Structure 1
Amino acid sequence: MVHITYSDGVSIGRLAYYVPALFVSVVVIAKHGARRSFGWIFLTLFCLIRIIGSAAQLDTINNNNPKTPETIALICTVLGLSPLLLSTLGILTRVYHSILDQTARTKFSFVVRAIQIPATVALILCIVGAADAKSPADILSESTVHIGIILFAVVYGLLVLLTGYALRQWRLTGLGESRLIIAVCVTLPFLAVRVLYSLLAAFSHDAKFNPSTGSASSTTIALVMETLQEAVVVLVYLAAGLMVPKPTGDFGRENQRSWHGRDGAPQQHYALSEQQRHEQPGV
């Protein structure tokens, strides 16, 4: 007889959520084009990681050698933060490209790389730490995993700073990009809880925060502080991607006359019909 545990039930729920989310993220990428969809490309990667991790957890059911799927499931749990944070960075990058001129955008690309590097290093460290662990229960005790999680927290702090500056430049954003700022602001508290959970799992030495124990309390805490927080972030970003119209032309202040009226109020910058183009003066 198949015995479904609490953790298995959570994994089934994840699969039911992230499989459709994966298809929606692909639709969003197709809508906006790959060049302007870096945020949703990383979101697609995140959905894939969650699907693989959930499938690995379910593979432990009636498995005579569950160590390998347990390890894969826990590795996917640790690795999920990287694409989720990079998804936020990708969406913020699109916002900044609607604010900055070409020269400033070139400089901003160095800022993006400065945030991508620690996020990528953190991902690599977590993979190395997981590979070095003698058992799934030891993964969160590895020093390399600890460093990786600290780097994730640093990346989150940098994303908060970028969001704060984008809010100060609100009036310079296009109509669609202003909605993306709102989406990021909504998700930041949920990301904070998710990062906090990783820090507690790595440094608190409390079994309740160690998902490898499989206890009811640790599973419930993971469900509340990890699974639900991630699900909200994914939902908000997918909704934003579906709601925000696809802009035409290039971004930046060279297009501000299209993005903003004479009074500086944001205006739509999306494709016009031929009739609308002929009705506009000077077109």
Structure 2
Amino acid sequence: MFNTAGKIAIAQLAFFIIAIFPALYCLFKHGQHGLLGWGFLCVFCIIRIVGAAIIVSDESTNKTLSEAGLIIASVAIAPLIISIGGIAHESYTSIKSHRRIIFGFLPHVVVHFGCVAAIAMIALGYTKFEKIASTTSDMKTRLDMVRAGGILLLAVWLGIAVIVAVSFLYPRDLRGEKQLIRGVVVAMLAMVVRILYTTLGAFIKTASFNLRTGGTIAEKVVLDLLPEFIFTFALLAAGIASRNLKYEREMK
């Protein structure tokens, strides 16, 4: 009999096994400009599939949720953020000439370094967090690492949100870019819920925000599952709708 984590993992496994195919399609159709965004969306789907499979395996053999499953669950947020940054960047192509420093390469470097640093702190904190030999001081240090990583993720999200908001001040020339940015806005709203869920788990000591034990099915669906599903679906819908963006640029 599967508990809450197992049931959530089964839903994730089913959803992302299906989602990986349109993600690969978008990666192929969007070409060079969409390589970063769609590539990392594919990575996100793969990480979710692997992580969910580990949890399902643990649950089916009555094992405690493994450290590997916990780490994979926490680090999946990194490709999620990088993918939305990359897809947003693809929608800036026709307006880069207005503000290259805002819509160019530099913001992406900042996003990548911010994500890597945040996920390194979160993963390391979770890896060591439940070691039996840990002292009270060690536990506090590791909890602080998870908290700092979550706050940094929120800062990265805010940076992307500011750039996306500024981009609306400039008209986009291509229909596909307009479709992409609409999907990005919806995905950004879903993503902040998911980041808050991870971050608050380090600050609020309740079952609802415990990554290992989880909460009720309803709580996990609202705070964990549904935001990721909305995020992925919004980007895939925008990506498929703008599948001819590469040819729009060639015809311009």
Give the TM-score normalised by the residue count of structure 1: 0.78
Residues 1:206 and 2:194 aligned together: no
Unaligned runs of 5+ in 2: 133-138
* Cα offset, 1:236, TM superposition: 0.9
Residues 1:98 and 2:94 aligned together: yes
Residues 1:111 and 2:107 aligned together: yes
* Cα offset, 1:133, TM superposition: 2.5
Is contact 2:208-2:219 (8 Å) kept?
A: yes
* Cα offset, 1:233, TM superposition: 0.7
Secondary structure class of the residue paired with 1:202: coil
Partner of 1:50: 48
Give CA-to-partner distance per residue, 1:43-93, whole Å, 9 cap, x none.
1111111111111111113536x34x5322222221122111111100111
Secondary structure class of the residue paired with 1:21: helix
**Equivalent AA in structure 2 for residue 149 of structure 1:** G
- Of stretches 37-46 and 230-239 in structure 1, the one that deviates more from structure 2 is 37-46
Supply the distance in 1 between the matched residues of 2:91 and 2:161 (Cα, whole angstroms): 14
Supply the distance in 2 between the matched residues of 1:248 and 1:16 (Cα, whole angstroms): 31
Give CA-to-partner distance per residue, 1:248-270, whole Å, 9 cap, x none.
47xxxxxxxxxxxxxxxxxx545
Relative contact order (alpha carbons < 8 A, sep ≥ 6): 1 or 2 greater? 2
- List aligned pairs for 1:13-28, cutoff 5 A: 13-28=11-26
Partner of 1:154: 155
Secondary structure class of the residue paired with 2:168: helix
Supply the distance in 2 between the matched residues of 1:96 and 1:156 (Cα, whole angstroms): 17
Partner of 2:168: 167
CA 1:248/1:73 → structure 2, altered by over 3 Å: closer, same or farther?
closer
Give the TM-score normalised by the residue count of structure 2: 0.87
CA 1:180/1:22 → structure 2, altered by over 3 Å: closer, same or farther?
same
RMSD: 2.7
Give CA-to-partner distance per residue, 1:87-115, whole Å, 9 cap, x none.
11001111222211399269821122122
Secondary structure class of the residue paired with 2:191: helix
* Cα offset, 1:214, TM superposition: 4.4
Supply the distance in 2 between the matched residues of 1:173 and 1:55 (Cα, whole angstroms): 43
Number of aligned residue pairs: give it.
Answer: 246
Is contact 1:95-1:173 (8 Å) kept?
A: no
* Cα offset, 1:165, TM superposition: 0.6
Supply the distance in 1 between the matched residues of 2:119 and 2:39 (Cα, whole angstroms): 17
Secondary structure class of the residue paired with 2:245: coil
Q: Which of 209, 226, 229 is residue 227 of structure 2 equivalent to?
A: 229
**Equivalent AA in structure 1 for residue 157 of structure 2:** Y
* Cα offset, 1:18, TM superposition: 0.2
Larger radius of gyration: 1
Unaligned runs of 5+ in 1: 250-267, 273-283
